[in-house]
Amino acid sequence: MEETCLLRLLFVTSLLSGCTHQASLNISPHSSQLFEGEFVSLRCEEDHSSDGWTVTRNTTKTRETRTQCGPDWGEQAGSSCTISYMDPLDTGVYWCESTGGAASSSITITVTGGAVILQSPVHPVMEGDDVTLTCTTKTSILSAGFYKDGSFIRTEPTGHMTIHHVSRSDEGFYKCNTISDGESPPSWITVTEKPAATTSPPTSSASPSSPPAPPLVPVWSMVLAILIFLFSLVPLVLLVLEVRRLTNRKPKGNYLPVSMEMAPPTQAEQGLADEFDDVMAAVTTEHHL
């Protein structure tokens, strides 16, 4: 029976979600399930101003519809509403409503007279986020088993269960169960689609394009040019060394300079020389006789 009432509240919540969201309803303590007797503060918050918004609720157990905070329930102070003692009859759908009839997104609050509650996100969670569920008793946090839509998920000895990177398939009713204190009421978790990433528009004025860089000379071409240059220097170096060697060379023996060498005798001079030798030979012979 209790789950049927929650389903009806969920239906009302979905209807209210289609309204214009100009404000958000925040709750303290931040939990969708509360123990009987707890103090609760509800506040309508808007981006720029919270004036003109009133906390409104619908509790199906008492067949109330669209009743605003105070004087029948709660104490109103501007756009805030406080309930000093939460009763299971206060279970219902709460939202903010403006004087012009606009409505914010709604939250479902479940008040239990039992000993166990499931602390879960009050507002819808976004795809890809991590969600932590905590099974709490009035005195402590115990080892608890967690369930989704009535199916067992797993047991956590610390009473905490984290769902990593939630997706739309993780939507559903969640509850926890302890061995000593029983189980909590179920709570619905809503997963919203992650908004698509927006790309920044291109700038109107394009920056002037820089001139193209000059082509790079291949490394092998530079090496070849250096080698050709070095090889062309070899003959020139050898020629310089040979000239220096010939310049510094000293002549051997008593050689006359080229300019002072005697010219070979002519034929007439050679004949006179022969006659001179014959006369000298005759004189020498007569002297010996």
Q: Are residues 91 and 138 in the same domain?
A: no
User: In this structure, is residue 184 part of a structural domain?
Assistant: yes
Q: Are residues 109 and 185 in the same domain?
A: no
10 Å CB burial of residue 88 (0-12, 13-18, 19+) is middle
Omega within 30 of 0 (cis) for the link into 121: no
Residues of the chain with pLDDT under 70: 1-22, 47-51, 60-64, 197-221, 223, 249-289
CA 51 → CA 25, 48, 78, distances in Å? 13, 9, 7
Total domains, the chain: 2
Phi and psi angles of residue 162, each rounded to the nearest 5 degrees, phi first = -110, 130
CATH number for 139: 2.60.40.10
Q: Are residues 104 and 40 in the same domain?
A: yes
Region of residue 77 (left: phi > 0; alpha: psi -120 to 50; beta: else) = beta
pLDDT, tens digit, for every residue of 36-62?
A: 999 999 999 876 554 589 999 998 666
Contact, 133 vs 198, CB < 8 A? no
Tell me the two tokens of residue 2: 């209790």
- What distance, in Å, lies between the first and last C-alpha atoms of the chain? 185
pLDDT, tens digit, for every residue of 192-234?
A: 998 876 655 555 444 444 445 545 555 656 767 777 777 777 7
Residue type for 200, please?
Answer: S
Phi and psi angles of residue 201, each rounded to the nearest 5 degrees, phi first = -65, 150
Q: Which domain holds residue 182?
A: 114-194
Q: Is pTM, for the whole model, over 0.75?
A: no
Q: Are residues 100 and 133 in the same domain?
A: no
